[in-house]
Amino acid sequence: MIDQILEGISIALTWQAISMVAVGIFAGITVGAIPGLSGVMATAVLVPFSFFMAPTMGIPFLLGIHKGSLFGGSIPAILINTPGTPPAAATCLDGYPLAQKGEAKSAIQMSLYSSTLGDTFSDLALILAAIPIAALALKFGPTEFFGLLVMGLTVISSVTGTSVPKGVISALLGLLIGAVGLDAITGAERFTFGFDTLQGGIGLVPLLIGLFAISEVMIQVEKKISILSQKPATANLKGGRSLTMGEFKKSRRTILRSAIIGTIVGAIPGTGASIATFIGYGAAKRASKNPEEFGHGSYEGVAAAESANSAVAGADLIPTLTLGIPGGGTAAILMGAFIAQGLRPGPSLFEENGPTMYAIFTLLLIGNPIMLLQGWLLTPFFASIVTIRQALLIPCIILFCVVGSYIFHNNLGDVELALVSGAFGYVLRKLNFPLAPLVIAYIITPMAERSFKQAMLLSDGDYSVFFTKPISLFFIILAAIILVLSVWKQPKVSAE
């Protein structure tokens, strides 16, 4: 194992690999700084371009986008009171009041330091937890693994979005889409409707680009031309002072607390950075000696929100890499990138690809000081990005979507699939159906089906095998409890 770690470190310490992490972080911060765009969308659009790189460059490039976008979203939140990404919503509460006081620069620096420390904490948690969890999961048979996947899917559909029924329906749609193609055991066609192109199933990359990127473009173009062409106010972009060491020291405990909260929340599939942000912010306000300052320009508030949301970046990879259950939307996209690169997330990932995984972990850690350096040196540039008109960006995003879909297999059919998926995703979003359960269920379906059929073969078709083995029974009961509690706690709609 030591030999594999050393080999992984040597693979990571090349200028090419480190450069790709830096490029990914730069792209992530840039996208995060543009209101209306998101790290999930950027990752989905750029996934195909990572396939032309080695896994130790392509995947860290995508991870860099994920890292950078979480910090980048705080820049417009502070400057113009508009979160660049959904997890930065809580940052507006104190970041914008600080900017109005002429302290935008120091607020962005607090966001940068907190994001970097929260991200580093979760990366270390990922590295320390991944191998033991994967080793434990290796002891699971197909029956236990099927029970685990059922539990994971239930958690995701229950906690993602505001409606449990819609989350469950979204997951069921993902299961149906994942079943399209040839049966892995019998070779029978399923849901192909006579189209030869569907025999191989629905392509992951076109589906992701359509659901997350093209649907987002369709949402954005609903806005009036005057809004899309409007240049945001720039009153808070210039001037300001640097953050003092005393101001940073006062927030040390807050940063650590939020990092722990973000890591725990991020490790639970389906929760995500937005939930972690508000939990961390609320905990910081309750523990603060000056809670009355929160919402009126508190550095602690900025630190709490940014440390918590960035701590999710590493934590949501814990279930993704060890169990094959994506922790959220971005994790699902990253899992697709792993699969496309020949690295199948799950218990055997570290046994089969030890040096590669240790190289990726090394680059994860290297990415944090790179983000700190870029944020420190390029803050004026990232701040100026806030003023870019969305009308100029939308055509560029559409172009990237079309090119990314095509180069996946050099096939126009994938472009058509991306466009159809985009329209489908647009309808789901307009109806307030969460997309994450659909994508995660789609990715989980082949693994769950394989485990189910293996269990059936080993038990001679006896379905009771899932209820007679303790571990499998535990996961199924836990799934049922989570679903019942989620429905029971669902807010009741008034009849008035």
* The length of the chain, given as a count of residues: 496
Q: How far apart are CA 44 and CA 24, in angstroms?
A: 13
- What's the pLDDT at 171? 84
| Sequence spans of domains, the chain | 2-488
Which amino acid, 87?
P
Report how far residue 306's alpha carbon sits from residue 477's, in angstroms, rounded to the nearest whole number: 36
Query: Is the pTM value of this prediction over 0.85?
Result: no
Residue ranges of the chain whose pLDDT lies below 50: 492-496
Per-residue model confidence (pLDDT) at position 276? 81
Q: Which of 420, 405, 436 is nearest to 173 (CA)?
A: 436
pLDDT at 255: 92
Q: In angstroms, rounded to a whole number, what is the distance separating the alpha carbons of residues 459 and 435?
A: 35
The position carrying tokens 């990726």 is 360
Residue-level pLDDT at 117: 93
